[in-house]
Amino acid sequence: MKLTLRVWRQRNTDAPGAMASYEVDGISKDMSFLEMLDTLNEDLILRGEDPVAFDHDCREGICGACSLVINGDAHGPERTTTCQLHMRSFADGDTIDVEPWRASAFPVVKDLVVDRSAFDRIIQAGGYITAPTGSAPEAHATAVPKPDADSAFEHAECIGCGACVAACPNGSAMLFTSAKINHLNVLPQGSPERETRVLDMVARMDDEGFGGCTLTGECATACPKGIPLPSIAAMNREWLRAVRKG
Segment 149-178, which members bind another protein (CB under 8 A)? 149-150, 152-153, 156-157, 159-160, 168-172
Identified binder of another protein from the candidate list 3, 5, 40, 65, rule CB under 8 A: 65
Please give the helix or strand (H or E) that residue 198 lies within, else none.
helix 194-207
Residue 94, CB half-sphere, CA atoms under 13 Å: how many? 14
Among 57, 91, 92, 192, binds another protein (CB under 8 A): 57
Q: Which is nearer to another protein, 23 or 243 (CB)?
A: 243
Min CB(58)–another protein separation in Å: 4
The amino acid that residue 166 corresponds to is A
List Cα–Cα distances, 3 to 24, 94, 178, in angstroms. 5, 5, 39
Pairing of strands 95-100, 3-9: parallel
Tell which one of 56, 68, 75, 194 touches another protein (CB under 8 A).
56
CB of 92 vs another protein, minimal distance in Å: 16
Taking residues 5 to 34 in sequence order and writing x for each that binds another protein by CB under 8 A, - otherwise, the string is: -x-x--xxx-----x--------x-xxx-x
Q: How far is the CB of 114 from another protein (least distance, A)?
A: 8
Which CA distances in Å does 102 have to 4, 17, 33, 118, 125?
A: 22, 13, 20, 14, 23
Residue from 4, 20, 23, 58 that binds another protein (CB under 8 A)? 58
Question: Three-state SS string across 80-140, please?
Answer: CCHHHCEHHHCCCCCEEEEEECCCCCCCEEECCEECCHHHHHHHHCCCCCCCCCCCCCCHH
3-state secondary structure of 99: strand
At 30, the amino acid letter reads D
Binding residues among 105-144 for another protein as defined by CB under 8 A: 105, 107, 109-110, 113, 115-117, 119-121, 123-140, 142-144
In this complex, which beta carbon is closest to another protein, that of residue 23 or of residue 28? 28
For residues 183 to 212, the per-residue mask of contacts with another protein, x marking binding by CB under 8 A and - elsewhere, is xx--x-xx-----x--xx-xxxxx--xxxx
Q: What's the closest the beta carbon of residue 125 comes to another protein, in angstroms?
A: 5
- Residue 160's nearest CA partner among 66, 232, 97, 241 is 66
User: Considering beta carbons, is residue 23 or 50 the nearer one to another protein?
Assistant: 50
DSSP tag of 128: S
Chosen residue from 2, 4, 104, 192 binding another protein by CB under 8 A: 104
